[in-house]
């Protein structure tokens, strides 16, 4: 059985089960201010839901709480070329219709486990339409970058020192039991 | 000469005018102001005050809106500036934007400019290697350009003078090819760099040297630095943002505030120099014609001594544009050689690899310098099919591998569990290029910039000597890397990288013995107009391989001393 068919079958069984995702659906939500991209609140919520799936809250804060979704929007809005922007938006806009077609529900309505299965599948399957694949790939890599650039990551997980002090640079013998800090 | 009233002449008169506030202009300002001369520094860019105008200097990485990436529109509007390795979100404000000063590339040339207080001294790579006699004697020995009118002994005391004030971290290596200086403590080579140093020394019988790259960073507390308000380098490695500690040398942190403290300095910003005024009857330069960048008004300033430190190509432009009855082809240009024999450093190629040894060690912290390999080709005699040679940077850093596989909780786990990989090792070539008559700067007869100043035409390219040198560098470094057991050796020759990104453009107003074949004498005075001195990169007779800023600073301090003495004797 193809992975996609298998996942679709799972979708039939569990698709109706709805757990509240961690996104904010409230009508008083303040839209992000962008310079160039014209996007809807639904699209913001969708990207937020994808980020929440890529970097969920665990025993440490998730991507959404750290506002990684805003980092992605700003990157696409300010740093991407018009072609890259068009490609990103086209992928984003064909993503949910694809999810509906294959899994019979809106991505944001699905529970966390199901969303994770869908994203894994779309990033691995050979028959994922290119715009959707490119969009998800960009979103994943930008999420990772944005996450590693958050105050949380750079203070709690891999502490970065703005002012290391004189003669901070030195050669050391590695202690295999010591956790590696990529920003040391 | 345009008409002006006596009062405004008096109000605009100084003892010395310095054009440019960068690396060398800052030194001229310091030397003159310290010796009691009322000094005017003309800076074409905006004011950048030390610390106060370093907007990103204390930002944490997450405070940079774009993660230090340059926004698309900014990149698109600045195809030249954006090519510079140092043009980032946190430093882009210190680069002159392309539209400020258009120029004509007869051949591709990326001209990187930093018009502001301190010029490019805010952005430099801070490598400070002395030039010795093996380089000063190069043109005479190898038959290119003209003989330098000075030797190492002429400049050595001035190197020391400058170094003690600047603060140079270095090691005493005792090499003919790279004279030692006045050094503060070294920040050290790391274990893998030392391993490579030992392999190279052994394989080439101590004829090739991997040393610690001498750099303009304060690594010891000394009174002279405290007096400047500068503290030790805190190894932030964020120099391009401007350093709030003054840990590295810039005009902004060092020479300009020093000059300011004397009460003898006047800084005039947004002052675009149009030309130097030459008085046919007095037979000397009398002042400088300036266009205000905002109002576009013309103002004239007067002084008996004028120092041209506008940056190598801009100094050429100013002289070319300084036309008078006496000098119809540009100030001091009797022989028609002004703007000719320009050259650069060939930074086109690097060789990188991995080292699978020394896996029990790593480094921590951020070091604002790296290893350095002085020139080892054609040092004592001609031994290859190309002239001169190359120095190289060399550095090693332990790879840290971090998987971004998976999604969800798995991905998050991966992002907190990095592992050590091999060492990355890399070198980049810094090749001497040969100044040639056909390598030229000239003014376009028609096109002008927004100030009505003719646009510069740049005609400079790689030649066969450069290509042979690249080939040799690749062969030699491959051999050296193989000898050290480095793996996955990869050669990165960016064949479409135009000259310019080395930001070491030089020449056009070269020094020499003979007024028939050079523009400047051994004191950096124009042969034909002795009260005008050029002491930035424009004065260079040959390029050597060393990072040149230290030499410009030493030449400037020496020339200021000369100008003051000559002035007292009534000779200028």
Closest CA to B437 of B150, B107, B149, B144: B144
CB proximity under 8 Å: A 82-121 to B: 116, 119-120
Tens-digit pLDDT profile for residues A130-176:
999 999 999 999 999 999 999 999 999 999 999 999 999 999 999 99
Q: Report helix angle B464-483 to B191-203, nearest 10.
A: 110
The predicted complex's ipTM stands at: 0.93
Arithmetic mean of pLDDT, B113-139: 98
Tens-digit pLDDT profile for residues B212-243:
999 999 999 999 999 999 999 999 999 999 99
**Domain membership flag for residue B380:** yes
What's the rounded Cα separation, in Å, for the pair B162 and B525?
20
Put simply, the answer to whether A75 touches B69 (Cβ < 8 Å) is yes
Domain range holding B415?
Answer: 187-213+345-432+462-498
Closest CA to B26 of B310, B216, B243: B310
Identify the pLDDT of residue B9. 81
Q: How many domains does chain B have?
A: 1
Task: Say what the pTM is.
Answer: 0.95
- A11 pLDDT exceeds 50? no
Nearest to A55 among B363, B367, B411 (CB): B411
Chains A, B: CB contacts under 8 A, how many? Answer: 128
Identify the pLDDT of residue B10. 83
* CA of B97 vs chain A CAs: smallest distance (Å): 18
Identify the pLDDT of residue B391. 98
Closest CA to A74 of A33, A38, A113: A33
Inform me whether the C-beta atom of residue A137 falls under 8 Å from chain B C-beta atoms: no
Put simply, the answer to whether A79 touches B62 (Cβ < 8 Å) is no
Give me the torsion for CA of B275, B280, B282, B287, rounded to 10°.
-10
Identify the pLDDT of residue B8. 72
Inform me whether the C-beta atom of residue A166 falls under 8 Å from chain B C-beta atoms: yes
DSSP codes, A77-136? IIIS-HHHHHHHHHHHHHHHHHHHHHHSS-GGGS-HHHHHHHHHHHHH-TTS-HHHHHHH
**Domain membership flag for residue B269:** no
Identify the pLDDT of residue A1. 37
Tens-digit pLDDT profile for residues B37-67:
999 999 999 999 999 999 999 999 999 999 9
- Evaluate the CA torsion angle B230, B234, B238, B239 in order and state its sign: positive
Q: Are strands B506-508 and B340-343 parallel, antiparallel or unpaired?
A: antiparallel
Inform me whether the C-beta atom of residue B412 falls under 8 Å from chain A C-beta atoms: yes
Inform me whether the C-beta atom of residue A124 falls under 8 Å from chain B C-beta atoms: no
Arithmetic mean of pLDDT, B433-445: 98
Closest CA to A121 of A4, A8, A2: A4
- B7 pLDDT exceeds 80? no
Tens-digit pLDDT profile for residues B295-339:
999 999 999 999 999 999 999 999 999 999 999 999 999 999 999
Identify the weakest region by mean pLDDT among B6-20, B252-266, B370-384, B394-408.
B6-20
Identify the pLDDT of residue A23. 52
* CA of B224 vs chain A CAs: smallest distance (Å): 18
CB proximity under 8 Å: B 207-246 to A: 219, 232-236, 238
Arithmetic mean of pLDDT, B132-161: 98
**Domain membership flag for residue B3:** no
Identify the pLDDT of residue A12. 43
Arithmetic mean of pLDDT, B489-508: 97
Contact B407, A123 (CB under 8 A): yes
> Where exactly are the structural domains of chain A?
3-157
Identify the pLDDT of residue A14. 42
Tens-digit pLDDT profile for residues A49-97:
999 999 999 999 999 999 999 999 999 999 999 999 999 999 999 999 9
Put simply, the answer to whether B66 touches A78 (Cβ < 8 Å) is yes
Identify the pLDDT of residue B79. 98
Chain A hits for B66, CB-CB cut-off 8 Å, are 74-75, 78-79
């Amino acid at each position: 059985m193809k992975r996609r068919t298998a996942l679709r079958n799972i979708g039939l069984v569990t698709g109706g089960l709805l757990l509240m995702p961690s996104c904010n659906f409230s009508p008083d939500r303040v839209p992000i201010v962008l310079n160039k991209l014209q996007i809807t609140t639904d699209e913001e919520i969708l990207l937020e839901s994808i980020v929440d799936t890529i970097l969920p809250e665990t025993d440490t804060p998730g991507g959404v709480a750290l506002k990684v979704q805003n980092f992605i929007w700003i990157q696409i809005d300010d740093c991407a070329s018009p072609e890259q922007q068009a490609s990103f938006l086209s992928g984003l806009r064909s993503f949910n219709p694809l999810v509906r077609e294959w899994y019979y529900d809106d991505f944001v309505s699905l529970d966390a486990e199901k969303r994770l299965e869908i994203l894994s599948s779309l990033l691995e399957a050979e028959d994922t339409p290119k715009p959707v694949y490119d969009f998800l790939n960009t979103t994943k890599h930008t999420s990772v970058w944005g996450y590693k650039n958050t105050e949380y990551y750079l203070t709690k997980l891999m502490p970065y020192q703005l002012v290391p002090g004189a003669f901070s640079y030195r050669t050391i013998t590695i202690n295999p039991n010591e956790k590696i800090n990529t920003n040391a | 000469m345009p008409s002006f009233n006596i009062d405004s002449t008096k109000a605009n008169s100084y003892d010395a005018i310095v054009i440019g506030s960068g690396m060398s202009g800052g030194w001229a300002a310091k030397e003159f102001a310290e010796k009691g001369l009322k000094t005017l520094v003309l800076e074409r860019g905006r004011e950048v005050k030390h610390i106060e105008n370093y907007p990103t200097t204390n930002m944490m990485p997450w405070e940079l809106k774009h993660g230090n990436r340059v926004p698309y529109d900014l990149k698109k509007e600045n195809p030249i500036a954006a090519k510079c390795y140092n043009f980032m979100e946190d430093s882009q404000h210190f680069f002159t934007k392309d539209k400020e000063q258009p120029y004509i590339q007869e051949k591709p040339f990326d001209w990187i400019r930093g018009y502001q207080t301190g010029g490019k001294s805010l952005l430099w790579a801070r490598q400070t290697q002395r030039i010795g006699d093996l380089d000063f004697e190069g043109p005479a020995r190898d038959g290119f350009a003209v003989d330098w009118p000075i030797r190492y002994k002429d400049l050595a005391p001035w190197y020391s003078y400058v170094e003690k004030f600047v603060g140079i971290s270095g090691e005493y290596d005792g090499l003919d090819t790279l004279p030692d200086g006045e050094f503060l403590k070294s920040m050290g080579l790391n274990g893998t760099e030392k391993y490579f140093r030992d392999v190279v020394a052994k394989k080439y019988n101590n004829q090739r040297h991997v040393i610690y790259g001498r750099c303009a960073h304060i690594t010891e507390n000394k009174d002279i630095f405290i007096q400047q308000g500068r503290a030790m380098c805190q190894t932030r490695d964020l120099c391009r943002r401007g350093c709030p500690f003054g840990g590295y040398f810039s005009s902004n942190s060092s020479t300009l505030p020093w000059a300011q403290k004397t009460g003898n300095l006047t800084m005039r910003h947004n002052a675009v120099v149009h030309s130097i005024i030459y008085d046919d009857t007095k037979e000397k330069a009398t002042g400088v014609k300036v266009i205000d960048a905002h109002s576009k008004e013309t103002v004239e300033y007067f002084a008996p001594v004028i120092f041209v430190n506008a940056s190598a190509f801009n100094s050429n432009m100013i002289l070319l544009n300084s036309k008078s009855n006496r000098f119809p082809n540009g100030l001091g240009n009797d022989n028609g050689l002004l703007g000719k024999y320009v050259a650069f450093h060939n930074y086109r190629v690097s060789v990188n690899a991995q080292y699978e040894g020394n896996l029990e060690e790593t480094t921590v912290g951020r070091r604002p310098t790296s290893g350095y390999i002085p020139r080892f080709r054609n040092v004592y005699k001609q031994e290859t099919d190309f002239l001169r040679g190359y120095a190289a940077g060399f550095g090693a850093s332990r790879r840290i591998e971090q998987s971004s596989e998976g999604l969800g909780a798995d991905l998050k786990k991966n992002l907190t569990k990095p592992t050590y990989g091999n060492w990355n090792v890399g070198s980049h070539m810094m090749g001497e290029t040969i100044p040639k008559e056909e390598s030229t700067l000239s003014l376009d007869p028609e096109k002008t910039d927004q100030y009505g100043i003719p646009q510069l035409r740049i005609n400079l390219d790689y030649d066969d000597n450069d290509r042979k040198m690249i080939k040799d560098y690749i062969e030699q470094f491959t051999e050296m890397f193989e000898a050290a057991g480095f793996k996955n050796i990869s050669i990165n020759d960016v064949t479409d990288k135009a000259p310019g990104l080395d930001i070491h453009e030089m020449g056009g107003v070269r020094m020499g013995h003979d007024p028939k074949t050079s523009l400047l004498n051994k004191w950096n005075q124009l042969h034909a107009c002795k009260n005008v001195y050029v002491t930035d990169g424009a004065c260079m007779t040959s390029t050597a391989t060393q990072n040149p800023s230290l030499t410009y600073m030493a030449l400037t301090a020496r020339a200021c001393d000369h100008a003051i003495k000559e002035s007292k004797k009534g000779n200028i």
